Structure 1
Amino acid sequence: MVIFGNKDRQGNMTVNLCAVPGAIPGIPGGYAICATIDGDNLVINQRIDKQRPVLLPLRKIKDFGTVRESEIVNKGQKSVIGRAAVGGLILGPLGAVIGGIDGTGTKKKKVDHVYWVVNYTNDDGQRSSISFEVVGATLGLKKFERALEAACPNFGLPEATPVGPIVL
């Protein structure tokens, strides 16, 4: 188990991520995980609780990349009294009124979430994906992606176009 490097004890490329709820079978959301290129598989292990690893054969991986999601989060109530007091100190009674009015409502903050998504072909031939959240402990993701791209035989290849009529 590596914490700050790109390789595990066996010399395999690895990266630390966080499990997204419902995205990886057998691993609950919010858990720290590591993804490792081990032989012909992408091995996904929980870092705590040591459940069974999840294996994704490299031949099934079609592509992967990062996706950014932004959301607006309420930070809490603004301080009406505090803003009125500061406004009053700076601009007098009119500033106190304006500061008090400005203090109503809630503070908002923009939060970015970055996800690493792996698209693969499942056993039924359908396209599926698994998602991981990129967190502060995720170091060397680009280096890991280059190694994974080189290890995946079907990475980036176009899918075969079905022959025959389209049946509705």
Structure 2
Amino acid sequence: MKRRHFALGAATALALGACSRKPTKFQTYNGPEVTSVIIKKGERRMYLLNNDQVIKDVEFDLGFAPVGHKQFEGDGRTPEGLYFIDRRNPNSLYHLSLGISYPSPADIEAARAFNRSPGGDIFIHGEPNAGAISRRDWTAGCIAVKNREMEQLYAMVRDGTPVFLMP
């Protein structure tokens, strides 16, 4: 009888513990490797590719000045060209984030020619942790996706993955 009560109590504790667990923002991914990311700014579409096959298609928002290549810090533009995922931030102010390797040496040189800073901290990120977004193209030059999409991207895309940012 005592064993039965113990077993019932243990099962109840496990069940209640499972119910009270917080969902995690960290997912796992066991699908095909993401070999590149193509971001088409004009279409507001991001494509995750395994070689030449699209394995995921995501809609996004851009910086508050979405047309043209980022030239200076604070211009609100998103870079264009070939970059790489170079870092990840699990504690981002924007849910989760994947860093893009902007500025390149050419970006730094171009900005310095105008005696300006090229800026930096360009990310693919989720929604802000504090507050809601009420308009399109609200970032300072980043690529913003819904949190659910960001969780999938964070699991799928590895550091070193090439990112092609196109007009």
Instruction: Give the TM-score, by structure 2 length.
Output: 0.26
Higher-strand-fraction structure: 1
Which protein, 1 or 2, shows the higher relative CO under an 8 Å CA cutoff with sep ≥ 6?
Answer: 2
Rg (Cα) greater in structure: 1
Instruction: Give the TM-score, by structure 1 length.
Output: 0.26
